[in-house]
Chain A
Amino acid sequence: MDTTVANTGTEGKTWGGGNQPLKASYGKMMMWFFIVSDALTFSGFLAAYGFSRFKFIGSWPIADEVFTHVPFFHGNYPMIYVAFMTFILIVSSVTMVLAVDAGHHMQKGKVTIYMFLTIIFGLIFVGSQAWEWATFIKGDYGAIQTKGGNILQFGEYVTVDGVEKFKRVAISDIAIDAHGDRVQHERKSGIWFLSEGTLPSYTVEEVYNGLEANPDVLVRTQTLTAEGEKTVLTREESLKQIKENGKLVVEGANLHVNEYGTSLFADFFFFITGFHGFHVFSGVVINIIIWFNVILGTYERRGSYEMVEKVGLYWHFVDLVWVFVFTFFYLV
């Protein structure tokens, strides 16, 4: 099986593929072309995200308020964990390029170690992303969805170090449990093959009663003010909005509802980071396969580690895409 890099019987045949005007082997060039097409796919997704965001520019969720958690730590740390994930991916890119470099010098031991590290960092990244998803799906404060599909969140003004700030309040902290729980309809009871999703912990009624009992709590809408902050309603307006328009209690996010704001945000989040995570996962699998080949000495016998270089290109591309996802989802 020498077909990938070594002799292909075309040497010197200008019209038979023996001439390489681009000084790149067939496999490497095809990897580049795949990367170009995959880059266009990702830019299609990100541009679609931009389209939806420009469409709802006045009410889009603020990423800093959505992704604020770090595993094993309580408190509010916007961006820290995603920055860590970005760093992990960049480091994995470095170990990959070191493996490629060691391959050029035909150092099997070094290639093995660096590829192993790349795989480990890749797994850390995928794990982090799974955790990020789980946190996002679980949600933290909960919200009320209106008849028109808008999200109303709760909070109160508190003074921290002399500065008045709007602090979010969770619905579980204010809602007054009426103990009138409706039982979730399952397909085994009643009409066959009809079931419904998990019911929210509270009804709109219970949240409204809780809002009435807590005179400091106010409602926040999605609409952004000129300062780029969410609009906070007056006390009367807060009660009125929940009473008249409140329809559904939303906890966390999924493809239908999203407590952080417009459900489009959650849809794009799941779709784009999911597609990227799938790329990372397949990258890890491909890296493992090539790693085994390195250990078995396949490339040592072939006399070239170009295969490592090709998977390296793919791996760097995954890193490249993440740099853009990081900017457009978390920073901008």
Chain B
Amino acid sequence: MADAHKLEILRGLIKFKSNTQKIWGVLILLSIVTAVEVVLGIYKPEALMTQVLSMKLLNWIFIILTIVKAYYITWDFMHMRDETKALRRMVVWTAVFLICYLIFILLQEGGYIEGVYSSEYIKRDF
């Protein structure tokens, strides 16, 4: 059963000899990502403060790095890499679709209410 693990990460860029070795490799990867996040969070480089798609570039970087971490936790620690395609899609797409939908609705609405507050003009009775 132990031989059934897929031992490549980063599309085969890094190959591991055993599952245990892969686990330590993923730990190092996750630690590096967290360290990068913390350093960026403390120093907040001025160059990353530009607005991209109505949010600071730095915040986009944080969110992307978080998704990277989530990917490796799910794929390697939870062994999603070794599950069948059908199970993987059932779990991942359901969550991804519903979460994106919910986030879009709530952030859109929050932004609208903020607009009403800050422009001091009630557009609609809500």
Main secondary structure of the interface of B (DSSP, over half): helix
Interface size of A by CB at 8 A reads 56
How close is A220's CB to chain B, nearest CB, in angstroms? 19
14 contacts between A and B (CB under 8 A): A22-B83, A22-B90, A36-B95, A40-B95, A53-B110, A79-B38, A94-B26, A97-B23, A316-B77, A320-B74, A327-B37, A327-B63, A332-B59, A332-B62
> B98 near A: Cβ within 8 Å?
yes
Residue of B nearest to A52 (CB): B110
> A199 near B: Cβ within 8 Å?
no
> B30 near A: Cβ within 8 Å?
yes
A43 surroundings in chain B (CB, below 8 A): 95, 98-99, 102-103
> B47 near A: Cβ within 8 Å?
no
> B117 near A: Cβ within 8 Å?
yes
> A55 near B: Cβ within 8 Å?
yes
* A93 CA to B114 CA, complexed, in Å: 39
How close is A117's CB to chain B, nearest CB, in angstroms? 13
* A47 CA to B95 CA, complexed, in Å: 14
Partner of A56, one of B37, B41, B114: B114
* A48 CA to B95 CA, complexed, in Å: 17
Check A323 against B66 for contact (C-beta < 8 Å): yes
Partner of B42, one of A33, A35, A58, A78: A78
> A251 near B: Cβ within 8 Å?
no
Check B23 against A98 for contact (C-beta < 8 Å): yes
Check B30 against A90 for contact (C-beta < 8 Å): yes
Residue of A nearest to B98 (CB): A40
Known contacts A101-B2, A324-B70; is A32 also within 8 Å of B98 by CB?
A: no
Residue-wise interface mask of A (7-22) relative to B, using a CB-CB cutoff of 8 A (1 in contact, 0 not) = 0000000000000011
Residue of A nearest to B37 (CB): A331
Known contacts A23-B84, A55-B113; is A104 also within 8 Å of B66 by CB?
A: no
B69 surroundings in chain A (CB, below 8 A): 323
Residue-wise interface mask of B (40-64) relative to A, using a CB-CB cutoff of 8 A (1 in contact, 0 not) = 0110000001000000000100110
In B80-98, the 8 Å CB interface with A consists of: 83-84, 86-87, 90-91, 94-95, 98
In A90-149, the 8 Å CB interface with B consists of: 90-91, 93-94, 96-98, 100-101, 104-105
How close is B111's CB to chain A, nearest CB, in angstroms? 5
Known contacts A21-B86, A22-B87; is A332 also within 8 Å of B23 by CB?
A: no
How close is B15's CB to chain A, nearest CB, in angstroms? 17
> A208 near B: Cβ within 8 Å?
no
How close is B27's CB to chain A, nearest CB, in angstroms? 5
A35 surroundings in chain B (CB, below 8 A): 91
Residue of B nearest to A20 (CB): B84
Question: Which 9 A-B pairs rank lowest in CB-CB distance, beginning with the nearest?
Answer: A54-B110, A51-B106, A51-B110, A327-B66, A83-B38, A22-B87, A43-B99, A55-B110, A47-B106
